[in-house]
Amino acid sequence: MLTIRLQRVGTKNSPAFRVVLAEKHRSVSKKFLEVLGHYNPRNKELGIKDKERLNYWVAQNVSLTPSVKNLLIEKKFIEGAKVKAWKPKKKEQPKEEIKAEGEAKPQGGAEAQAPQVKAEVKSEPEPTEAEPKAEAQAPQA
């Protein structure tokens, strides 16, 4: 399967990219089939060598990476809607906070609260008849 993607060729602190056609599962910096253009992110310059070749590969349903697709849409080489190129990482919450949230928010509304009330009633010891008699005798003495 083929894909059109960016291949970094710039030096340290000076990024520059080639727009290349390569196999999807091959390493980004390894062998490619065809150089379609270049991209300089410092001045936002996208140069395509041959627009006909680009259109040919797009017509062959070659996949585009999200970054390349957004660049080509921005520079009016292809039409369509931009896609989200990356997803922000979710910040992990400590386990203690997750447990506290779970205890604070019972699910199911009133139905979830009803069993808790019954559990509290059962947990209280019921006084027996022998205990009140013992308490009554203690104050008289």
**pLDDT (0 to 100) of residue 86:** 80
- The Cα–Cα gap between 27 and 15 comes to 18
pLDDT in tens, the chain (141 residues): 999 999 999 899 999 999 999 988 888 878 889 999 999 999 999 999 999 999 999 999 999 999 999 999 998 888 888 888 888 888 877 677 666 666 666 565 555 555 555 555 555 566 666 555 555 565 665
Alpha carbon 48 to chain centroid, angstroms: 32
Backbone CA torsion sign across 59, 63, 68, 69? positive
**pLDDT (0 to 100) of residue 88:** 81
Instruction: Tell me the domains of the chain and their CATH numbers.
Output: 2-74 (3.30.1320.10)
What is the pTM (predicted TM-score) of this model? 0.59
**pLDDT (0 to 100) of residue 30:** 84
